[in-house]
Amino acid sequence: MLSRSGRRKATLLVCYGIIGLFVIFFLFPPYWMAITSLKTNQEIEGLKGIPLLIQEGATLQHYRDLFAKTDFLIYFKNSVLVTVPVVLLSMAISVLAAYALSRLGFVGASVLGTAVFLVYLVPDSLLFIPLFKIVGNLGLLNSKWSLLLVYPPLIVPFCTWLLIGYFSSIPKELDEAALVDGASHLQMLVRVFLPVAVPGLIAATIFAFTVSWSGFLYPLAFIFSSSEQVLTAGTVTSLIKGDVYHWGGLMAGAVLACLPPVLLYVFLMDYYISGLTAGSTKG
């Protein structure tokens, strides 16, 4: 029979063992992508030694080629050009709606609240075909600007919902006092609510950025030319050329395209997680 602290140590050891297995499973793909992007072509194609390590010297050639010989930079620029306005637009719509829904009781507010929640559950693969027709009718087919139209519906419901949670936690006395002092609702939103809800705003912005940056189905369906394509669909469709896959170059592209959301996550992890769990615990 083990002592109490001995048992505790044994339990911890088992826990760390299980977590270790999970972390290897979770991190192997990014590790394999990164290491492949740094290997020479000869090493990737050769079957010598241990492929899990770089044995013949690391190279940045695949990254240099990505910038010099492919449309990668165009995709990158397009992704930025789409993501920035999508985030701003979505945040503006969400902030206004969240303020109104959490503070200004009006006829139909609760119905709208439920509708927002239901819309949050609508996945992109349910409506991309009618949206394909609608985008076409508006003359936006094969244009990156079509994404400004179709991404906000995927983002706004969650952000609104998240912000309602943050706004509701602000004491009502605060806005009553401000209103008595003659502040308009817009002034109050900007001067009282937004400063208090900064963590919520950060979490919502990260969410908006991630959805917009990672979207794959819509650009794949609506955009055909390289000059208009964004990173996800561009990397997947046009960096693959011919029958011989250039794994090194492909992985270099994937790694670089993954970097912005992953970096954002690394630096703002706590906001990210609070946003992610807001729905499940508060809701």
Residues 41-70, interacting with another protein (CB under 8 A): 44-45, 47, 51-52
Site for another protein in 162-201 (CB under 8 A): 173, 176-177, 180, 185
Separation in Å, CA 166 to CA 9, 89, 191: 40, 20, 15
What's the closest the beta carbon of residue 126 comes to another protein, in angstroms? 6
Query: What DSSP state is assigned to residue 278?
Result: I
CB of 69 to another protein, least distance (A): 19
Among 30, 60, 168, 267, binds another protein (CB under 8 A): 30
Among 10, 13, 26, 168, contact with another protein (rule: CB under 8 A): 26
Distance CA 233, CA 252 (A): 15
Nearer to another protein, 87 or 156 (CB): 156
Where does 121-228 have alpha helices with state H? 124-137, 146-150, 152-168, 172-180, 185-188, 194-196, 198-214, 217-222
Residues in the chain: 283
Output 58 or 138, the one with its CB closest to another protein.
138
Query: Which positions from 88 to 117 touch another protein by CB under 8 A, shown as an x/- string?
Result: ----xxx-xx-xxx-xxxxx-x--x-xxxx
Buried b (16+ CB within 10 A) or exposed e, 261-276: beebeeebeebbebbe
Residues in the interface with another protein (CB under 8 A) total 97
Contacts of another protein in 126-145 (CB under 8 A): 126-134
Rama region for 240: left / alpha / beta (φ>0; ψ in -120 to 50; rest): beta
Q: Is the Cβ of residue 78 or residue 232 nearer to another protein in the bound state? A: 232
Binding of residue 205 to another protein (CB under 8 A): no
Given 6, 10, 29, 84, the residue binding another protein (CB under 8 A): 29
Which of 10, 23, 84, 138 forms a contact with another protein (CB under 8 A)? 23
141: burial class by Cβ within 10 Å (0-12, 13-18, 19+)?
Answer: middle
Confirm if 194 and 68 have CB atoms less than 8 A apart.
Answer: no
Angle at 199 between CA 195 and CA 202, to 5 degrees: 100
The minimum distance between CB 198 and another protein, in angstroms, equals 20
Least distance to another protein from the beta carbon of 195, Å?
Answer: 18
When asked if residue 118 is in the footprint of another protein (CB under 8 A), the reply is yes
Alpha carbon distance 71, 154 (integer Å): 27
